[in-house]
Chains A and B, each alone.
Chain A
Amino acid sequence: MDVNLDAPPTPSWLRTVLIGRHPRRTLVRIVVLVVVCVLVRTFILLPIRVVGISMMPTYKDGSIHVVNRLSYLFHKPQRGDVVAIRLLAGEHVMYLKRIVGLPGETVFFHRGQLYINGQPIEEPYVKLHSHWEYDEGKLGPDQYFVVGDNRDTWFFGHEKGRQTRDFIVGKVLL
């Protein structure tokens, strides 16, 4: 039986599956993939996990979603958009709320019904209703009014209010 010791060893099927036939190319691919993932994660898509019930039933407690940081690159936030709002200290914890009031508008709730500039606004996403009596007044030139979809909560326990555009991190995609 002849054995050629000079011939390169044939890669085993396991090695081929794990690192491919060309390890250098595989390494380059892995590096490129990691860099792309880090860039996308840092600058474009931000994964979030919902904690709490203020956006029920649209977003359930514990569900995972993605925020698009580039949503408002070419246009301003719209009424009805669900957005992530960063807190004063940073972005590790954020609010997930729906924009209902746009800059310059007056916002108030009467018997749980949302009124913008005195006109009632239909909110098909609200399934859990309230009897809130609340007058937010007129929003500033760069202020948006945000609130959760679950209005069937204790009024003071439900985080809502106005904030400027620079606090809006992006729009929730999924």
Chain B
Amino acid sequence: MKEWLKRVTFMAALVGLGYWGWTLVYQSPERAIRKRVEALAREASFGPNQGLMSEAWKATSLTAFFTTNVQVTIDVPGGQNIITGLDELQTAVLYTRHTFKSLEVHLPDIKVTLDPGGDAAAVNLTARGEVIHADGQQEDYLQELRLRLIKVKRDWLIKEIVTVRTLS
């Protein structure tokens, strides 16, 4: 290989490595939020045969993603279910874990819109849940959600979750 080609290749690799390192250390708010929401989906998923301790620990660890005054508004036929605060949310999570045998949450689309100030963001996402009921029956759910996140110190916390529909 010619000497100049070797140098160009080396420089390109160096620049690429530098860029990768930069994005790793100083990741954009959009990317940080995206990773946060994906982590929440992983944490919300659970498999069958989980012990009581594991269930309780996971339900507690989920609360780390939310503000203390979080509000979750779920549209149901004929009205809305509103969950307010971490205690109610934790109860709802434990109820879900008892109702279903397993739940796998996937987020095929996440759209982050940062507020002009940079300390709050709106996230539109498509959530797909693969559920196995207690009787072994498998079912897939699709739900569109809108999240409102705020920046607390270096962390992004979810303040509000609302179910939304493309077809209104």
- What residues make up the interface of A, taking CB atoms closer than 8 Å to B? 51, 85-93, 95, 97, 146, 156, 159-163, 167
With known contacts A87-B109, A90-B111, A163–B126 Cβ distance under 8 A = no
- A90, A146, A162 pick with most chain B CB within 10 angstroms: A90
Q: Does B167 contact A (CB under 8 A)?
A: yes
In the complex, how many angstroms separate the beta carbon of A99 from the nearest chain B beta carbon?
12
Q: Which residues from chain A contact B109 at a C-beta distance below 8 Å? A: 87, 89-93
CB < 8 Å: which of B110, B125, B146, B166 contacts A95?
B166
CB < 8 Å: which of A93, A97, A160, A161 contacts B126?
A93
Is the pair B124, A156 in contact by a Cβ cutoff of 8 Å?
no
- What residues make up the interface of B, taking CB atoms closer than 8 Å to A? 77, 108-111, 124-126, 128, 140, 142, 144, 146, 164-168
Is the pair A163, B77 in contact by a Cβ cutoff of 8 Å?
no
26 A-B pairs with C-beta separation under 8 A = A51-B140, A85-B166, A87-B109, A87-B126, A87-B144, A87-B166, A88-B111, A88-B146, A88-B164, A88-B166, A89-B110, A89-B124, A89-B144, A90-B108, A90-B126, A95-B166, A95-B167, A97-B167, A146-B167, A156-B77, A159-B165, A159-B167, A161-B165, A161-B166, A161-B168, A167-B166
With known contacts A90-B108, A93-B126, A85–B77 Cβ distance under 8 A = no
Chain A residue with minimal CB distance to B78? A156
Is the pair B128, A162 in contact by a Cβ cutoff of 8 Å?
no
- A92, A162, A167 pick with most chain B CB within 10 angstroms: A92
Additional A-B contacts beyond A85-B166, A93-B128, A162-B168 (5; CB < 8 A):
A88-B164, A89-B110, A89-B125, A92-B126, A163-B167
Q: Which residues from chain B contact A160 at a C-beta distance below 8 Å? A: 167
Q: Which residues from chain B contact A97 at a C-beta distance below 8 Å? A: 167
Chain A residue with minimal CB distance to B107? A89
Is the pair B167, A89 in contact by a Cβ cutoff of 8 Å?
no
Is the pair A163, B128 in contact by a Cβ cutoff of 8 Å?
no
Q: How far is the CA of A128 from the CA of B66 in the complex (A)?
A: 44
Is the pair B167, A85 in contact by a Cβ cutoff of 8 Å?
yes
Q: Which residues from chain A contact B124 at a C-beta distance below 8 Å? A: 88-89
In the complex, how many angstroms separate the beta carbon of B122 from the nearest chain A beta carbon?
11
Q: Which residues from chain A contact B164 at a C-beta distance below 8 Å? A: 88
Q: Which residues from chain A contact B125 at a C-beta distance below 8 Å? A: 89
With known contacts A95-B167, A161-B167, A161-B168, A89–B77 Cβ distance under 8 A = no
Q: Which residues from chain B contact A85 at a C-beta distance below 8 Å? A: 166-167
